[in-house]
Amino acid sequence: MAEPSEATSHIDTTRSRVERRSHVREIVFGTQDGLLTSLGLVSGVSGATTGRISVLIAGFAGGVAGMLAMGAGAYIAAKSQRDVQQEELRHESSELQGHPKREMEELVELFIKDGLEKTDAQMVARVIAKHPEAMLTAMAQKELGFAVAGGRPFLDGVVIAIAFLIGAAIPIVPWFTAQVTTIIAIGPFAPSQALLMSVAATAVALFLIGVGKGRLSGGHSIRSGVEITAIGLGCALIAFLLGTVVPDAFGLHPLTTG
């Protein structure tokens, strides 16, 4: 059996690893959403105008708006979830104080469902019931299905907002220097060098994110990378066609501002 100090160190290390992985999940989600949103935006706008400034303004405005929306949304969602969990914990605490015998019987049943023999489940439940905080933690985890420790809504919002902005910047960068004139035309499909470079940069970023997601989840990394890249490019193609085919169908011509 491990010494207490060694066990404590192992617990702290495990919790730290899990916490880092939760931030990685937020970073991946935010960056992926920023890439897809920004690429779809610049693709749609570039299909309707040949102006570099118009695309850059639209991309910048969309990136900032998306960053604020994602950050605020993540904060509100995490805070709401934490508030709901805290209310459930208060209710469970009152149940433990008002009906301790019934709550212990519930814990016994939960341990039995986990595979313990009835006598073992009763013994474990009796020991835990002697310590109110341990009892509340056990009931929160087994009956309510969540941990007592709350999340950090503000940090979650900041992390996902920054990740979104970084992702949103990647499809926009090529529009600062690349040519915005059409380099090839196949029917309504007439992309510029800037758009093709934007798509290429986004595709590479999406593929790397997909590979990272695959490794984190223990799945097939390459398959995950290809899947998310295909989704991103499909979104860009639809947005570009909406910016070209739809205006053309109504007899509108691309704008040529700046």
Domain annotation covers residue 99: yes
DSSP 254: -
Domain annotation covers residue 244: yes
Which residues in the chain come in under a pLDDT of 50? Answer: 1-2, 255, 257-258
Residue 1's pLDDT is 46
Write out pLDDT tens, residues 99-143: 888 888 888 888 898 888 989 888 988 898 888 888 888 888 887
Domain annotation covers residue 15: no
Residue 64's pLDDT is 93
Domain annotation covers residue 190: yes
Domain that holds residue 130: 27-249
- C-beta of residue 59 within 8 angstroms of C-beta of residue 38: yes
Residue 36's pLDDT is 86
Q: List the structure tokens of 62.
A: 């969309």
Residue 12's pLDDT is 61
Measured between alpha carbons, how far is 194 from 199 in angstroms, rounded to an integer? 9
Domain annotation covers residue 143: yes
Measured between alpha carbons, how far is 67 from 157 in angstroms, rounded to an integer? 10
Domain annotation covers residue 254: no
Residue 146: phi and psi, rounded to 5, are -150, 165
**Number of structural domains, the chain?**
1
Measured between alpha carbons, how far is 119 from 121 in angstroms, rounded to an integer? 5
